[in-house]
Structures are given as structure tokens and as C-alpha cells.
């Protein structure tokens, strides 16, 4: 069995945590320079790619195999969410404190832990001089936390593609072959303002928004009937409502925002049509209804067959390493796996150490045991697919 030096792995993660790469504002550059040097010292063929943004380079490195195929891509995002209120943390967020076999810090679980496990896996392959036929490609990308096109740019514009993809995200070492997507809808209801002593002269935009919210509640019950094998049902929630100007004024507008979680059997188009149908139905019954509807942001869902080679090889390797039975798994969050599967048509899974519950939280941490096991699973998978 593979022996991983957990001390080096923890030190590697501490190095990564000590270089803040918060997004916003998008300060991945120092981490990119660190990773570039780290890979150069290993003798890898590497480059910094100053696209799509000049000041936020992405790192790509290749460990070349004798045949140059197949190609396996391991993709990890360098950015983290901000630390929030430091006073609420028990440990300094950019120090990488170790306690009870856990490493604490912003990005520990999402997903600097996964990047550290990958680097140590690479160290192992080189140290043991393991010969590969296929190429191992590493992509350390920007802008995942804000839905920016880091991964998409590498895959589509730079044509840095391959035959399999592993997208690092905290899945507690489960192998996700399906992920949910989401769309944020903004709907602005336009009323007619007037003096609140004679509301009958105006049109109350808040009342329009409220009847829409009631319709969304029934729509959410309808969504419970739809089921995806791994991701359960799609969801919709009213998440913001903003309207009115003054106590004695009939409100001239009211903005409602919806968070709609999408399963792979649905598409953004079909979801958009459903929301529009609700609004059009209201309009047919209410000639005073005026609205504007737009999508503020969206991430597509993605899925590959559960028996796709990358998924079954990885599940087998997680079983070998953890001795726990692995079943096909769906991750309720959105990841850059969508760019591999939907945009570049590369079969990919989402996988990594750390728990999604810890991601983005105060006192974010990752268990050392999961880091070590992630390295082992990556090593076994690289050997299976590329040697």
C-alpha cells in the first residue's frame, strides 16, 4: 500500500493557506506564482496563463507520459471566499493551525486541501519514479467562487483538454458523477405610485409581488414530484424582496429574487419557461400586472453515467483506501465539472477531501486523514488510467 508522509502534506497545506487568495477581490496571483514555482522545482513542464484576466494568471502543468495519451486533468480552484469577521474565528484564518488532527484556515476544505493532496501525490509519483504512458495535466484556476470563466477559458479557448477530468471540491472523498445547477431570477413588479390615502388611484407593486410569491410556493410543491436518482428534487425559494419608497406612498416597484436549484433532467431554458409561464398566467388574470424578469446568474447542472470509467475507477480506489463501500453520488452544489461535461464534453467527476458543510464557514477545517486518503486515491487513479 502507498505510504504518504502526512507531515509534508500538512506543511504543504499550511503553505497554501498562508497565501490568501480571496475572491472577491480576486487575489489569486500570489498563490499562482507559488504553485508555478513548486511545479517548476519538480521539473514539470508548466506555464502561467494570463487569461481570461491579465492580473489573475492560471497555472497549467504537465507530467508527460511516454505515449502522451490518454490525458487526465486534475482541476482545482485557487480562490477562496473571504474570511468574514476574523473575531468570530477561534484560529487565525490564514495560519493553518493544527488541532486534533485537523488543519484550520480559510480554504482548508474548499479546496486548498485538495490542491495539497494533489501536489503530494505528484511528489510521490516522481519520487518513486512511476512510469506513465498518458499525460497528467494540472489546472489551478481562478474565479470559481464567483462563477468566472477560469476553467471554461482553459478548456474552450486555450483548448487544454483531455480524456478524463477530476474537479477538486470538498465531497468527503465521495465521487460525484452528478451535480446540481442553479439560476437566480430577478423579477421587478412595476406599480403606479400615488398618495396612500387614496390607494385606488394607484397600483400597488408589493401586492403584485406577494401574489407571485404565493404562486412560487405552489410551484415549489410541484417540484417535489420531480426526482433525480442521485440529486433528489429541484428546489425554488424566494430569497429577497425589496419594495416601497415611503410609508404614505403606494409602492412604485417591488423586486423579488428567486433561487432555483436545477437537476440534470432540467435545463436552464425549461426552468426559465416555467417561471415565465407563472408570470404570463398572472398577467392573463390581471391586466394591471407589469413586470420585468431576468436571470442574474446561473450555473448549469451536469452528469455523467455512473458507470463511466473515471467514476468507477475512482469509486474502486476510494473503497480500496477507506475500506468503505462507494455508491454513485450526487453533489447538491455547483462545480466547474459543468465546464468539463457540458462545454468540453470531457467525462469528469467532482472529488476531494473536506466536507461541504465546513466550506465557506467560520473555523473552516479539513481532517488530516482525509488529506492523506485523497492523495492515495489520486495516486491509484493516475496509475490506473495513465500507466
Binding site for Zn ion (CB under 5 A): 110-111, 169
Q: Which residue is nearest to Zn ion (CB)?
A: 110
How far is 94 from 78, CA to CA, in rounded Å?
A: 14
Beta strand spans in 145-206 (E)? 164-168, 176-179, 181-190
Q: Which of 250, 272, 258, 279 is nearest to 185 (CA)?
A: 258
Phi and psi, residue 99, nearest 5°: -150, 135
Q: What Å distances lie between residue 36 and 30, 40, 101, 269, 344, CA to CA?
A: 10, 6, 29, 40, 25
Which CB atom, from 271 or from 337, has the smaller least distance to Zn ion? 337
Find out whether 9 and 120 touch, Cβ atoms under 8 Å. yes
CB of 63 to Zn ion, least distance (A): 24
Nearer to Zn ion, 28 or 169 (CB): 169
> How far apart (Å, rounded) are the C-alpha atoms in residues 291 and 205?
9
Distance (Å, whole) CA 135 – CA 122: 12
Query: With respect to Zn ion, which residue has the nearer C-beta, 111 or 262?
Result: 111
Assigned C-alpha cell, 167: 474537479
Pairing status of strand 302-303 against strand 176-179: antiparallel
- In sequence order, the 6+-apart residues with CB closer than 8 A to the CB of 87 are none
Residue 232, sorted as left (phi over 0), alpha (psi -120 to 50) or beta, turns out to be left
Least distance CB 114 / Zn ion (angstroms): 9
Q: Give 74 or 111: the residue with its C-beta nearer to Zn ion.
A: 111
Find the shortest distance in angstroms from Cβ 144 to Zn ion. 6
CB of residue 134 vs Zn ion: minimum separation in angstroms?
26
Closest CB 354 distance from Zn ion, rounded Å: 9
Q: State which H helix or E strand residue 45 sits in.
A: strand 45-49
Give the whole-angstrom CA distance, residue 387 versus residue 369: 26
Residues linked to residue 207 through DSSP beta bridges, in sequence order: none
Quick one: 169 or 300, whose CB is closer to Zn ion?
169
CB 67 within 8 A of CB 148: no
Nearest distance, CB of residue 136 and Zn ion, angstroms: 21
Least distance in Å: CB of 336 to Zn ion? 9
Q: Which residues pair with 23 in a beta bridge?
A: none
**Would you say 91 or 351 has its CB closer to Zn ion?**
351
Q: Which is nearer to Zn ion, 125 or 333 (CB)?
A: 333
Taking the complex as a whole, how short is the minimal distance between the CB of residue 32 and Zn ion, in angstroms? 16
Residue 110 C-beta: closest distance to Zn ion, Å: 4
Closer of 359 and 372 to Zn ion (Cβ): 359
Q: Are 34 and 19 spatial neighbours (Cβ–Cβ below 8 Å)?
A: yes
Name the CA radius of gyration of the chain, rounded: 24
Grid cell digits, residue 26: 480576486
Q: Which is nearer to Zn ion, 71 or 106 (CB)?
A: 106
Amino acid at each position: 500500500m502507498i505510504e504518504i508522509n502526512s507531515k509534508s502534506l500538512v506543511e504543504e497545506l499550511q503553505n497554501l493557506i498562508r497565501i490568501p487568495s480571496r475572491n472577491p477581490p480576486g487575489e489569486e496571483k500570489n498563490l499562482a506564482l507559488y504553485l508555478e514555482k513548486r511545479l517548476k522545482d519538480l521539473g514539470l513542464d508548466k506555464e502561467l496563463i494570463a487569461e481570461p484576466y491579465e492580473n489573475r494568471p492560471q497555472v497549467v502543468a504537465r507530467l508527460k507520459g511516454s505515449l502522451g495519451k490518454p490525458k487526465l486533468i486534475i482541476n482545482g480552484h485557487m480562490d477562496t471566499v473571504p474570511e468574514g469577521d476574523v473575531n468570530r474565528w477561534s484560529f487565525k484564518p490564514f495560519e493553518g493551525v493544527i488541532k486534533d488532527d485537523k488543519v484550520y484556515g480559510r480554504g482548508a476544505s474548499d479546496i486548498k486541501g485538495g490542491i495539497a493532496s494533489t501536489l503530494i501525490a505528484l511528489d510521490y509519483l516522481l519520487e518513486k519514479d512511476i512510469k506513465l504512458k498518458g499525460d497528467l495535466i494540472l489546472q489551478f484556476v481562478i474565479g470559481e467562487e464567483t462563477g468566472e470563466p477560469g476553467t471554461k477559458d482553459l478548456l474552450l479557448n486555450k483548448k487544454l483538454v483531455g480524456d478524463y477530468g477530476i474537479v477538486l471540491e470538498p465531497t468527503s472523498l465521495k465521487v460525484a458523477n452528478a451535480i446540481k445547477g442553479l439560476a437566480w431570477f430577478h423579477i421587478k413588479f412595476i406599480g403606479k405610485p400615488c398618495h396612500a390615502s387614496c390607494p385606488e388611484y394607484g397600483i400597488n407593486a408589493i401586492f403584485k409581488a406577494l401574489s407571485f410569491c404565493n404562486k412560487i410556493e405552489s410551484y415549489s410543491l410541484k417540484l417535489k414530484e420531480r426526482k433525480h436518482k442521485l440529486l433528489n428534487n429541484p428546489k425554488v425559494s424566494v430569497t429577497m424582496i425589496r419594495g416601497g419608497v415611503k410609508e404614505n406612498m403606494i409602492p412604485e416597484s417591488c423586486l423579488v429574487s428567486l433561487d432555483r436549484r436545477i437537476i440534470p433532467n432540467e435545463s436552464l431554458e425549461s426552468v426559465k419557461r416555467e417561471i415565465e409561464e407563472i408570470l404570463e398566467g398572472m398577467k392573463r388574470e390581471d391586466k394591471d400586472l407589469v413586470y420585468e424578469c431576468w436571470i442574474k446568474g446561473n450555473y448549469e447542472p451536469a452528469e455523467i453515467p455512473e458507470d463511466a470509467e473515471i467514476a468507477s475507477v475512482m469509486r474502486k480506489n476510494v473503497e480500496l483506501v477507506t475500506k468503505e463501500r462507494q455508491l454513485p453520488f450526487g453533489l447538491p452544489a455547483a462545480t466547474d465539472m459543468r465546464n468539463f461535461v457540458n462545454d468540453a464534453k470531457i467525462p469528469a467527476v467532482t472529488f476531494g477531501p473536506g466536507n461541504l458543510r465546513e466550506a465557506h464557514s467560520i473555523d473552516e477545517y479539513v481532517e488530516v486523514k482525509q488529506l492523506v486518503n485523497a492523495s492515495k486515491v489520486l495516486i491509484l487513479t493516475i496509475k490506473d488510467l495513465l500507466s
